[in-house]
Structure 1
């Protein structure tokens, strides 16, 4: 291996130094607001005021809630651990430890529900809940995803988000600009007005209240914009970096002073001052509509105050009857900015609580990094004036400039050492892309270790090499396909008798046959007689299947055995699929009435769906050139004797574009009920058209309904399974539409079935850009199948214990 060039090690340190400086200057304090970002304490308002928190002193971080004098403990059971919790109107949401999933429940009856992204393998780092929206940030992408409201910036990356009464706002990572959005007609103007008022400001974070928004800019100053009818924008004292946390209610604002962690509130016509909180220190605060709650540092209890809090019934001095609350999540690993005192006790020896990284924190370098010289020491006392912050800014600018100059010198040395400046390139191949040959045999994933985005990236990274291995043939009839005589195929099917007919394809009828050598095959014969289509169309379908299947070899694609081309006869010979089509098992009376059918199992249905998805993913990502099937439906998903599903019938297939952005205008073709509405209406074909077809198949699998069926609730009028199922999935009423022949999912299957449902819902979005890729679909179905085998750590929706 070629040794590193001079200054290489030092140059590698440069990004680390810059990162440390950025953390030093613009750290993110632990904060929460009404409907804001998640912490370990949350308030839900609406029908019932509910306060929830993460329990301390336990090996699992359980959720406890208080409502009207009662404590509801062990929400979701004792085996599930959470990192953070957030509240909004009649809703509490929590991120499961590690960011693996987002779980929500309604506070009136604590009905559990899991929310999914189109790509469920995305880890989450924060969630915010308002009165009409739930939004979350991806841990690695920092893209925002929202539920309940569809209008949100889908391609932007954020460093902070927060929600309030009908709208949400976020701080863009690039430049710190504020962006606000709303799907509510009544608050859309409020969101746009507040975004305009922050137009020329660069912010570090943001917190949303009722009709006002506050945040800390990059100089540490609190800036509030929006409605000020109760003085909620009038910050009483505003020195740089004076506040470490903010919480916004409907018409008031509270902040934690950094110097002593005491709380000061403003707005609400002066009704939020409290003698009880005057000398108390707080770890965090969160606001309801007209009151505020805080986590007390001394004993980790929760107290609440304000005009909306019934202090005569629940005095702030006594606190809520909750068990001790965690000041932060218990994590495994090294804390960048130091460990919180009492971590071992609070986490019961299982993990550490990290201090939030702010301007006074000295980040701890991650392990196994090259040693670096620490930046100059920073005065730990709060700045006494804006000029102090300015001096620190100039000092940091000088350090960054020095680092940049050093990096430039190293770049020149590297340029001269390698010779690239003179056209001489030293190339070495010390790292090669990994080729994963077990794409179709993915090992089961445990519930505590879902598939990561890195596995998806590895799969995409090896795509080029896989394509080159997929093989292509320029000949019309490649050697791998046998050529048969017509008379031999006629003999194999008893002269194409009706009793041997097993189905129909894109250009003909399919018969079961037995060759002279004993092989069982399926033979597709082009139609003849008065129903024959134009010869050119029949010829095109025949040549399409022959061309594609001759060079496609995959476990989940039907294998072509051979062909026959004599005069006007066009026949294709396939391997025989003993268990027929998925359609027959779901809809054919001769099959569905058999109670012993293996497809009357959620696990088998999910496995068959995954097999089909893997076959389609191969067509889209690994075939060269990529192929769009155009006719994905349950009757084209065949099942062999081992219950392995395979995609069939390539008569309508076309070579696809190289990417989802390359649209291919073409005359729409497909089957009613499965055809992509965007393709049908605009003649725009992409790989996402196949995703739509598979989404319909997934809905068939879940409901047992045909793609188009007669609804008994609608006077026998035809209805699509999309219109039937999607509204129920969106409103959390999935069990109402599940196929009753399979029976209710068992405990470890319930989450898997729900994941399939949410995946299907995303697949049948009207616009292709809103649908997942086949790689995403495969990842979700792999996860769902793993859940069927993994009952450990699954979510319990059993009875919730109540204590007085």
Structure 2
């Protein structure tokens, strides 16, 4: 297995390390649970757009993830896109997505899109524009662009919380696509323009498939352009009419969404006889977009208990871990990875012939901001002791119940300004701020680390 690991830049300040086990500690949070608190006049659609960032990118034979602790991008698997290390090592990252032979990401400082790999038509035509989301398909990619002059790019908040600034920002959000339309593409490089910023309903999600593009608005309207692979007929003709969706995902040739208000999953497109478009009955699905993913003839989704279910082409060597809880999942063509809720480890399943399902154990070690033995922190969930600590200015630290150091699953974007956000019976701990990008401080160090003041 080929793995790429880069040292964390010495000029970047480090926050306390997360507690994880032997697998890679990606410290990734569910998109809705990593948002800075909105300013007083910030509209819900604005908060949503500045909160939803996909942290895992899965291609064919490779996986990647942004570690929110330090915004570093890591890769594993034997088919990592060509140029990944060379292209990404000098940057930090906000979001990433991948496909066969190439990946695209959003660079953290400028929020510009960037692509790398062997698909030259996508890579060479990638616009270096500020974006809040990027999505990769077999032959084309799309992004949600915006007017960066209105945003504090470091804090991911509006520079001004006036109604005029809110309106201007929403008006500026535009999906753009590039690459190759492919066979029967029927204008898939022109995403549907269904957003209505004036009504607080801008496009908040863009997803790419094989020759088609779908978008979702803040209030849940969905429309697609292009074809479903080689299936005749325009994609927009197959979108369920009169249905609003809280989440949307796109597989190679099919689309799935969670119906708003019902927790039911609907799917459509070029559906095979393997039933990737037929969800199992009797399951209430979580409504967050990061709880839903799809690949080549399969669909995966988290239920309301955060347990994954996959259906369709799922006769895999590595089975879906249906008894585990996850806060985020994403799928490549033939495999799926997620961030486990109880220990923030990455876990993957599906067809795993190229090491794409095996995050390397050495990612469990990171340089420490304090002086630990040999300058390295070994992060562990045992004995799992949490300490109250002072937070940076503007942050609130709180924990309730016995320490579990779990991420908090949130169904709403952020609390009101000044409100503290704590845990519950699951032992959640978190810090938030309305003036800066939030981080989750998780402390489960062993006695050696605590004695060295590495995490204490």
TM-score (norm. length: structure 2): 0.55
- The alpha-carbon deviation at position 203 of structure 1 amounts to 1.6
- The alpha-carbon deviation at position 152 of structure 1 amounts to 2.5
- 3-state SS of the aligned residue for 2:243? coil
Pick the structure with greater CA Rg: 1
Q: Distance in 2 between matches of 1:315 and 1:96?
A: 23
- What CA RMSD, in Å, does the superposition of the two structures yield over aligned residues? 4.7
Within the alignment, does 1:131 sit opposite 2:162 as a pair? no
User: For the structure 1 residues 76 and 278, does the alpha-carbon distance in structure 2 shift closer, same or farther, using more than 3 Å as the test?
Assistant: same
- The alpha-carbon deviation at position 69 of structure 1 amounts to 7.7
- 3-state SS of the aligned residue for 1:192? helix
Per the alignment, residue 216 of structure 1 pairs with: 258
User: For the structure 1 residues 286 and 107, does the alpha-carbon distance in structure 2 shift closer, same or farther, using more than 3 Å as the test?
Assistant: farther
Per the alignment, residue 55 of structure 2 pairs with: 40
Matching residue within 244, 251, 256 for 2:302: 256
Per the alignment, residue 151 of structure 1 pairs with: 190
Aligned length: 312
- The alpha-carbon deviation at position 296 of structure 1 amounts to 3.2
Q: Distance in 2 between matches of 1:203 and 1:276?
A: 25
- 3-state SS of the aligned residue for 2:363? coil
Give deviations 1:328-382, integer Å, cap 9, x for gaps.
xxxx99799x9999xxxx9xxxxxx9967525x7x32236xxx9xx9xxxx999x
- Residue 225 of structure 2 contacts residue 235 of structure 2 at CA under 8 Å; is this kept in 1? yes
- The alpha-carbon deviation at position 172 of structure 1 amounts to 2.9
Per the alignment, residue 401 of structure 1 pairs with: none
- The alpha-carbon deviation at position 163 of structure 1 amounts to 1.2
- Residue 136 of structure 2 contacts residue 208 of structure 2 at CA under 8 Å; is this kept in 1? yes
Q: Distance in 1 between matches of 2:346 and 2:216?
A: 29
Within the alignment, does 1:66 sit opposite 2:76 as a pair? yes
User: For the structure 1 residues 272 and 136, does the alpha-carbon distance in structure 2 shift closer, same or farther, using more than 3 Å as the test?
Assistant: same
Within the alignment, does 1:366 sit opposite 2:412 as a pair? no
Per the alignment, residue 248 of structure 2 pairs with: 206
Matching residue within 132, 155, 173 for 1:142: 173
Matching residue within 266, 274, 282 for 1:230: 274
Within the alignment, does 1:279 sit opposite 2:323 as a pair? yes
Per the alignment, residue 708 of structure 1 pairs with: none
Per the alignment, residue 564 of structure 1 pairs with: none
Q: Distance in 1 between matches of 2:174 and 2:398?
A: 28
- 3-state SS of the aligned residue for 1:206? strand
Per the alignment, residue 86 of structure 1 pairs with: 97
Q: Distance in 2 between matches of 1:142 and 1:354?
A: 30
Matching residue within 293, 314, 323 for 2:363: 323
Q: Distance in 2 between matches of 1:162 and 1:339?
A: 36
- The alpha-carbon deviation at position 233 of structure 1 amounts to 2.0
Alignment of 1:612-691 (within 5 A): none
Per the alignment, residue 727 of structure 1 pairs with: none
Per the alignment, residue 266 of structure 1 pairs with: 311
- 3-state SS of the aligned residue for 1:152? coil
- The alpha-carbon deviation at position 221 of structure 1 amounts to 2.5
Q: Distance in 2 between matches of 1:170 and 1:183?
A: 14
Alignment of 1:745-760 (within 5 A): none
User: For the structure 1 residues 154 and 275, does the alpha-carbon distance in structure 2 shift closer, same or farther, using more than 3 Å as the test?
Assistant: closer
Point out which structure has higher relative CO (alpha carbons under 8 A, 6+ apart): 2
User: For the structure 1 residues 159 and 99, does the alpha-carbon distance in structure 2 shift closer, same or farther, using more than 3 Å as the test?
Assistant: farther
Per the alignment, residue 238 of structure 2 pairs with: 194
Q: Distance in 1 between matches of 2:110 and 2:135?
A: 14
Q: Distance in 2 between matches of 1:104 and 1:168?
A: 18
Q: Distance in 2 between matches of 1:184 and 1:57?
A: 38
Q: Which has the higher helix share?
A: 1
Alignment of 1:716-755 (within 5 A): none
Q: Distance in 1 between matches of 2:312 and 2:265?
A: 15
- The alpha-carbon deviation at position 275 of structure 1 amounts to 5.1
Matching residue within 205, 219, 222 for 1:178: 222
Q: Distance in 2 between matches of 1:171 and 1:56?
A: 26
Q: Distance in 1 between matches of 2:398 and 2:214?
A: 31
User: For the structure 1 residues 366 and 324, does the alpha-carbon distance in structure 2 shift closer, same or farther, using more than 3 Å as the test?
Assistant: farther
What are structure 1's unaligned runs of at least 5 residues? 1-14, 32-37, 327-331, 347-352, 382-804
- The alpha-carbon deviation at position 43 of structure 1 amounts to 1.3
Q: Distance in 1 between matches of 2:325 and 2:104?
A: 27
- Residue 94 of structure 2 contacts residue 111 of structure 2 at CA under 8 Å; is this kept in 1? no
- 3-state SS of the aligned residue for 1:365? coil
Per the alignment, residue 406 of structure 1 pairs with: none
- 3-state SS of the aligned residue for 2:235? helix
Per the alignment, residue 309 of structure 1 pairs with: 352
Q: Distance in 2 between matches of 1:355 and 1:65?
A: 26
Q: Distance in 1 between matches of 2:231 and 2:360?
A: 34
Within the alignment, does 1:247 sit opposite 2:285 as a pair? no
Q: Distance in 2 between matches of 1:106 and 1:190?
A: 30
Per the alignment, residue 212 of structure 2 pairs with: 167
Per the alignment, residue 113 of structure 2 pairs with: 102
- The alpha-carbon deviation at position 189 of structure 1 amounts to 2.4
- The alpha-carbon deviation at position 63 of structure 1 amounts to 1.7
Q: Distance in 1 between matches of 2:41 and 2:284?
A: 24
Q: Distance in 2 between matches of 1:334 and 1:133?
A: 41
Q: Distance in 2 between matches of 1:181 and 1:132?
A: 15
- The alpha-carbon deviation at position 91 of structure 1 amounts to 1.8
Q: Distance in 2 between matches of 1:83 and 1:230?
A: 35
User: For the structure 1 residues 221 and 70, does the alpha-carbon distance in structure 2 shift closer, same or farther, using more than 3 Å as the test?
Assistant: closer
- 3-state SS of the aligned residue for 1:115? coil
- Residue 96 of structure 1 contacts residue 103 of structure 1 at CA under 8 Å; is this kept in 2? yes
User: For the structure 1 residues 114 and 103, does the alpha-carbon distance in structure 2 shift closer, same or farther, using more than 3 Å as the test?
Assistant: farther
User: For the structure 1 residues 201 and 63, does the alpha-carbon distance in structure 2 shift closer, same or farther, using more than 3 Å as the test?
Assistant: same
User: For the structure 1 residues 285 and 94, does the alpha-carbon distance in structure 2 shift closer, same or farther, using more than 3 Å as the test?
Assistant: same
- The alpha-carbon deviation at position 303 of structure 1 amounts to 3.4
Q: Distance in 1 between matches of 2:107 and 2:393?
A: 17
Q: Distance in 1 between matches of 2:119 and 2:42?
A: 48
- Residue 103 of structure 1 contacts residue 114 of structure 1 at CA under 8 Å; is this kept in 2? no
- Residue 159 of structure 1 contacts residue 205 of structure 1 at CA under 8 Å; is this kept in 2? no
- 3-state SS of the aligned residue for 1:76? helix
Q: Distance in 2 between matches of 1:325 and 1:91?
A: 28
- Residue 339 of structure 1 contacts residue 354 of structure 1 at CA under 8 Å; is this kept in 2? no
User: For the structure 1 residues 242 and 50, does the alpha-carbon distance in structure 2 shift closer, same or farther, using more than 3 Å as the test?
Assistant: closer
- 3-state SS of the aligned residue for 2:233? helix
- The alpha-carbon deviation at position 76 of structure 1 amounts to 3.2
- 3-state SS of the aligned residue for 2:237? helix
